[in-house]
A and B are shown apart, each in its own frame.
Chain A
């Protein structure tokens, strides 16, 4: 990193011509950056290097681990755990899509329809955050419990028959099925979708809607041709803020799912903290990181927005 290198000459403006800034002044940005960047280098970047080295080590806890450039670990991790990988991406992708479908109307409501209730609704969106998300996730165990109201209603409406046929639920059960996990993921990451959506919708000039209406666009056309394209930055950052954490999450899968719904985060946690197979855990988390980074990069390129969050 070039943090300590000398500063480039400051831009020459009228007042600076009179007196060249002292070296002390030119170093100001570097002093401002130094502690924070150093923190990120030591506790974010350096650990990744350590992990890269761990992933190509072999050995055991008793004898110690040594770097042997054993890339086979990556292949073994992939072949052993590809169901969990596929499941993670599938669940996270479904939850992201659901967040967008559920979150968009609410963000739209806050931005355009809430009027003087806007702040109240915004508080209601953020307030659940203040109860620990683990407690709230446990509440879903009560809501989706066998024989509970939700399961009864879905049963009466024959929704569970359809979802069981699709393999999302098991007969008369929602808890401990993929549907429960996706439901929990969607719930937990909805605010991360709604807030960016709201921010970008709120910036839209209301007169554009009127203009579209004046030009004989139906409300649906106005939405498709004006509102939605203008809200794209919010859609992009919202989907990223939902998908990235959801893909690595293991809390919902562990609390609301079963052994058949394990996600890759669970595997990394178990390998690292219980099995103590550090190379496999390191390889798994590197694969996850690579997959997510590649997907994110491609997605950002395709959607054509560079400014994020």
Chain B
């Protein structure tokens, strides 16, 4: 049987593509159901095609407010975690100092702990301090759990850097500041960008820690969570689809620019 033989020879490719389909399927459903006109409050069963939600994406009370709050928190958490994380990475790779082991485990532990544990303990701290739960407590929490991921991303890049490049710069009479800005930073940039992107994605999409430490403030994931109980507006799917398309476009455009640069450099 040639068909069976073909399947056997391409088993890995077929299995891999099936997994890929499993991962993409929910996004397709989200996209298709953004054109739905549901009968009840829940958008789980297909009724008929409609562009209503796309024409009025902010037509649901509080949704776009929560979206802009999530974006703001994600931007500030990214800035905070990237700056602090990059500083730590440089210290870890470039310098010798005491308590390195303790510091390494302090950075590793937040990644090795279920989110709900960090969420509950941080809330214990805030309750004990009598802190007002809201924007600032969410931001503090997000910087905390993004930090370790940024360190991991940036450290990998800094470790693979050739220190002789910086030595060459200082041999050519560049000052320490100049060397850092014109040699070190540009080389480390891809690692820093990867860390920042990761921090943004983690912060924007975080639910568990945010849910514990938000008080009555509602971020976008919390809005979606609440809507699973009250009724899911079609607009949620519109936002989900738009985010997906924007992200794919950013990646594609970035790739095109990188390709063109590569070609013109040749």
Contact = CB atoms under 8 A, between A and B. Distances in A.
Contact of B106 (A40, A273, A293): A40
Contacts of B87: 32-33, 35-36
A145 interface: yes
Contacts of A187: 22-23, 26
Most chain B CB atoms below 10 A, which of A140, A272, A278: A272
Nearest to B151: A36
A43 to B, nearest CB: 4
Contacts of A40: 106-107, 110, 144, 147-148
B30 to A, nearest CB: 5
Contact of A308 (B95, B108, B122): B108
Interface residues of A, number: 90
- Chain A to chain B: the 7 pairs with minimum beta-carbon distance, closest first: A248-B114, A109-B16, A29-B95, A130-B247, A105-B15, A36-B84, A47-B121
Interface in B30-80: 30, 33, 44-45
Interface in A100-133: 102-103, 105-110, 113, 119, 121, 123-133
B118 A44 contact: yes
Contacts of B103: 1, 3, 33, 37
A103 B111 contact: no
A185 interface: no
Contacts of B107: 40
Interface of A: 1-3, 5, 7-8, 10-11, 28-30, 32-33, 35-37, 39-41, 43-48, 50-51, 54, 102-103, 105-110, 113, 119, 121, 123-143, 145, 187, 190-191, 240, 244-245, 247-251, 255, 265, 268-269, 272-273, 278, 281-282, 285-286, 288-289, 292-293, 296, 308-309
Contacts of A113: 12-13, 16
B224 A272 contact: no
Most chain B CB atoms below 10 A, which of A124, A134, A135: A135
B23 A125 contact: yes
Contacts of B95: 28-29, 32
Nearest to A265: B116
Given A127-B248, A132-B243, A255-B228, A191 B23 contact: yes
A222 B186 CA distance: 41
B124 A106 contact: no
B46 to A, nearest CB: 8
B84 A124 contact: no
Q: How large is the interface on B (under 10, 10 to 19, 20 to 34, 35 or more residues)?
A: 35 or more
A307 B207 CA distance: 29
B98 A108 contact: no
Given A36-B84, A54-B124, A142-B45, A127 B244 contact: yes
A178 to B, nearest CB: 18
A131 B244 contact: yes
B178 interface: no
Most chain B CB atoms below 10 A, which of A2, A5, A8, A33: A33
Contacts of A286: 117
B176 to A, nearest CB: 10
Contacts of B108: 308
Given A54-B124, A288-B114, A36 B88 contact: yes
Contact of A48 (B121, B207, B237): B121
Nearest to B224: A134
A213 to B, nearest CB: 15
Interface in B2-30: 12-13, 15-17, 19-20, 22-27, 29-30
B147 A128 contact: no
A249 B206 CA distance: 12
B111 A145 contact: no
B118 to A, nearest CB: 7
Interface in B96-147: 96-99, 102-103, 106-118, 120-125, 127-128, 140-141, 143-144, 147
A272 B97 contact: no
Contact of A46 (B88, B125, B152, B248): B125
Given A51-B121, A132-B220, A103 B241 contact: no
A108 B112 contact: no
Given A106-B16, A187-B23, A130 B118 contact: no
B251 interface: yes
Contacts of A54: 124
B4 to A, nearest CB: 17
A265 B114 contact: yes
Contacts of A249: 114-116, 208
Given A40-B110, A50-B124, A7 B97 contact: yes
A51 B30 contact: no
A41 B30 contact: no
